[in-house]
């Protein structure tokens, strides 16, 4: 592959475009509401209407408004049909000839769409994830070509550093700094890993990116590998995402066929291969050291850091490990420049962030907004608030590692520092909205149960501490706890947070701490009065 071929593929693809395009969402959300049958019905309806020469039916990825799926968009009319059933397809195709229909149309000027700024998701819903040509037509792999032909690895690292991009997996570590560390190590082998083990309850950002635009992630990984000097990459994706795995496999095969992966990428001396590793269902394998242990074929358990993966990762070699969304940000940065990217977002959080809106909210789905967008804009304007006249009570960000932000703090801008200040975290982008019917103690209990089940069992505070915290939370829920139990719970939160080995344990108390901080009354209301006469001498309850 050389530039001329890339341009040729793009031109061919654009030339083959027909007068109308019907884009039918085939990402997991819509597929689960029968979108594949809709796509088949559209194909048939177009054929029966004799419009094959004028209409292309394209299976695409996520078009954001998952709750209204299956979604079908019409180009160039800029119409979005919602909740399309296979039986609606004849009528839908007829609208192309100007026949009016009663089909449900989405309002593309609604705040849900209007406030979005698509960088990571710019191709999602437009390109066909199963066809590399479709991605190339959207300037795919152009960034890679430019990087390989016009930039040194050091310049790529500097570019990413200047962009101010921070890791989208949750912790927000500066991506450029991580790349620079790996690039500077001298080792005969280096690895690049894409962490696609998205496991937070209610989070589906990475899944959507992988299902909608797998080539984008692959291109980002190849650029990263060139920058740090790696020749082997792994995508660690959870087995619960079969569609993402299938599309990644297709994408890797196509990229190899076009000489974009393998030996001599873009006919340069640079070699890079990507293998897929499928997770076996352990949440903790999203933690980087556990993930690497799992790739190596060992038990997926974290180990103490340092040494960090950048220094000693897979099989002891320097390893760059980034999240799906981080890699997906790389090609546009390489194409449009670091300054363009750094111009979006806030002082310390650059670019955009993809969030998965879920829970008690009218518009569930995927949104991408500039960093610093107030939570209120996201949940009230874009999300449309709580359904059926409900009141938003809290927003949970960061999954089991995050916290609950009360409605009173909704004007907080969404960036790494502001969310941390509120006792939550940015996390990977799951955003669960709760209304007045939600019991916050039960929310804390739910997340603690999750952490308890997902603790790997290696270190004592996380393995046994989460069990005891869950037990105490259940006791509160059952109205059997006293103020002493609450004190014990708080003491455990402090201990588990400060003594656990990895991030899972260190952040497991966060949902409890944040609900205690903002909704303490709900705990107090459930407490039993403490016994009036505390025993003078604490009886030895142990039998050891």
Partner 1 sequence: MAAKTLTIDGQMVGAAEDQTILEAARDAGIHIPTLCHLEGVQDVGACRLCLVEVTGINKLLPACVTKVTEGWEVRTSSERLQRYRRMVLELLFAERNHVCAVCVANGHCELQNLAVSLGMDHVRFDYQHPRLDVDLSHRLFGMDHNRCVLCTRCVRTCWYIEGAGTLNVAGRGEKSKIITDLNAPWGDSTTCTSCGKCVMACPTGALFYRGVTVAEMERDRGHLEYIVTAREKKQWIV
Residues that bind partner 1 (CB under 8 A): 282, 284, 299, 303-304, 452-461, 463-468, 471, 488, 491-492, 495, 498-501, 538-544
Least CB distance to partner 1 at residue 457 (A): 3
Q: Are 169 and 323 in contact (CB under 8 A)?
A: yes
Pairing of strands 430-435, 365-370: unpaired
Nearer to partner 1, 115 or 305 (CB): 305
**Percent composition of the chain: helix, strand, coil (DSSP 3-state, to 5):** 45, 15, 40
Our CB check for partner 1 shows the closer of 54 and 491 to be: 491
Q: Is 482 in a helix, a strand, or coil?
A: coil
Give the residue with the Cβ less far from partner 1, 70 or 461. 461
Residues whose CB falls within 8 Å of the CB of residue 94, separated by 6 or more in sequence, listed in order: 49, 101
In the bound complex, what is the minimum distance in angstroms from residue 544's beta carbon to partner 1? 5
- Shortest Cβ 444–partner 1 spacing (Å): 18
Cα–Cα distance, 508 to 501 (Å, whole number):
12
Nearer to partner 1, 44 or 471 (CB): 471
CB of 509 to partner 1, least distance (A): 13
Shortest separation between residue 8's beta carbon and partner 1, angstroms? 52
For partner 1, the closer of residues 98 and 539 by Cβ is: 539
What is residue 312's DSSP assignment? S
Q: Which of 389, 421, 322, 16 is nearest to 397 (CA)?
A: 421
Identify the sign of the CA torsion 127, 132, 136, 141: positive
- The C-alpha atoms of residue 69 and residue 32 are separated, in whole angstroms, by 9
Nearest to 349 by CA among 125, 88, 172, 519: 172
Least spacing, CB of residue 484 vs partner 1, in Å: 9
Whole-number Cα distances in Å, 49 to 89, 91, 97, 302: 11, 11, 10, 58
Rounded least distance, CB 200 to partner 1, Å? 18
Nearer to partner 1, 133 or 240 (CB): 240
Alpha helix stretches (DSSP H) within 229-299: 242-257, 288-295
Neighbouring residues of 358: CB distance < 8 A, sequence distance ≥ 6: 202, 204, 364, 430, 431, 432, 433
CB of 166 to partner 1, least distance (A): 19
Nearer to partner 1, 147 or 501 (CB): 501
Residue 187 or 468 having the CB closest to partner 1 = 468
Of 77 and 280, nearer to partner 1 (C-beta) is 280
CB 80 within 8 A of CB 106: yes
Cβ-count burial 274-301 (b if 16+ within 10 Å, e if not): bebbbbeebbbbbbbbbbbbbbeeeebb
CA distances to 139, 140, 141 from 331, in Å: 10, 8, 8
Least CB distance to partner 1 at residue 463 (A):
6
Handedness of CA 330, 332, 336, 340 (dihedral sign): negative
The least distance separating partner 1 from the CB of residue 361, rounded to whole angstroms, comes to 31
Query: Which residue number, 162 or 463, has a Cβ lying nearer to partner 1?
Result: 463
């Amino acid at each position: 592959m050389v530039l001329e071929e890339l341009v040729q593929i793009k031109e061919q693809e654009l030339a083959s475009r027909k007068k109308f395009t019907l884009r039918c969402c085939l990402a997991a959300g819509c597929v689960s509401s029968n979108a594949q049958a809709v796509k088949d019905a559209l194909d048939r309806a177009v054929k029966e209407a004799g419009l094959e020469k004028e209409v292309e039916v394209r299976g695409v990825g996520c078009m954001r408004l998952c709750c209204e799926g299956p979604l079908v968009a019409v180009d160039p009319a800029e119409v979005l049909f919602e909740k399309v059933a296979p039986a609606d397809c004849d009528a839908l195709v007829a609208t192309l000839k100007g026949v009016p229909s009663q089909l449900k149309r989405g309002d593309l000027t609604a705040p849900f769409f209007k406030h979005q700024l698509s960088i990571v998701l710019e191709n999602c819903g437009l390109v066909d994830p199963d066809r590399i040509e479709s991605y190339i037509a959207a300037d795919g792999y152009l960034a890679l070509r430019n990087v390989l032909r016009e930039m040194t690895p050091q310049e790529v690292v500097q570019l990413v550093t200047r962009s101010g991009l921070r890791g989208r997996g949750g912790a927000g570590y500066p991506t450029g700094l991580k790349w620079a560390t790996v690039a500077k190590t001298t080792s005969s082998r280096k690895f690049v890993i894409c962490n696609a083990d998205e496991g937070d309850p209610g989070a589906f950002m990475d899944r959507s990116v992988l299902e909608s635009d797998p080539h984008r992630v692959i291109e980002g990984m190849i650029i990263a590998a060139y920058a740090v000097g790696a020749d082997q990459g792994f995508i660690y994706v959870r087995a619960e995402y079969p569609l993402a795995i299938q599309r990644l496999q297709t994408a890797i095969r196509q990229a190899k066929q076009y000489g974009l992966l393998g030996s001599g990428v873009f006919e340069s001396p640079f070699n890079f291969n990507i293998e897929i590793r499928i997770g076996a269902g352990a949440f903790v394998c999203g933690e980087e050291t556990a993930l690497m242990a799992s790739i190596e074929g060992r038990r997926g358990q974290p180990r103490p850091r340092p040494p960090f993966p950048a220094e000693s990762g897979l099989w002891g070699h320097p390893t760059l490990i980034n999240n799906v969304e981080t890699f997906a940000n790389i090609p546009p940065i390489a194409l449009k420049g670091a300054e363009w990217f750094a111009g979006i977002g806030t002082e310390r959080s650059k670019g955009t962030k993809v969030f998965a809106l879920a829970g008690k909210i009218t518009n569930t789905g995927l949104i991408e907004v500039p960093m610093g967008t107030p939570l209120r804009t996201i949940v009230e304007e874009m999300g449309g608030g709580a359904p059926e006249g409900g009141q938003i009570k809290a927003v949970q960000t960061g999954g089991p590692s995050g916290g609950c932000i009360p409605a009173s703090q909704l004007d907080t801008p969404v960036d790494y520092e502001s969310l941390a200040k509120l006792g939550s975290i940015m996390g990977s982008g799951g955003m669960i909205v709760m209304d007045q019917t939600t019991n916050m103690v039960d929310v804390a209990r739910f997340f603690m149960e999750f952490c308890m089940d997902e603790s790997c069992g290696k270190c004592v505070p996380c393995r046994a501490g989460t069990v005891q915290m869950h037990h105490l939370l259940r006791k509160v829920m059952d109205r059997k706890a006293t103020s002493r139990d609450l004190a014990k719970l708080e003491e455990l939160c402090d201990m588990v947070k400060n003594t656990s080995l990895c991030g899972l344990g260190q952040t497991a108390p966060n949902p409890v701490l944040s609900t205690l901080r903002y909704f303490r009354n709900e705990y107090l209301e459930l407490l039993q009065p403490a016994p009036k006469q505390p025993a003078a001498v604490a009886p030895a309850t142990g039998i050891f």
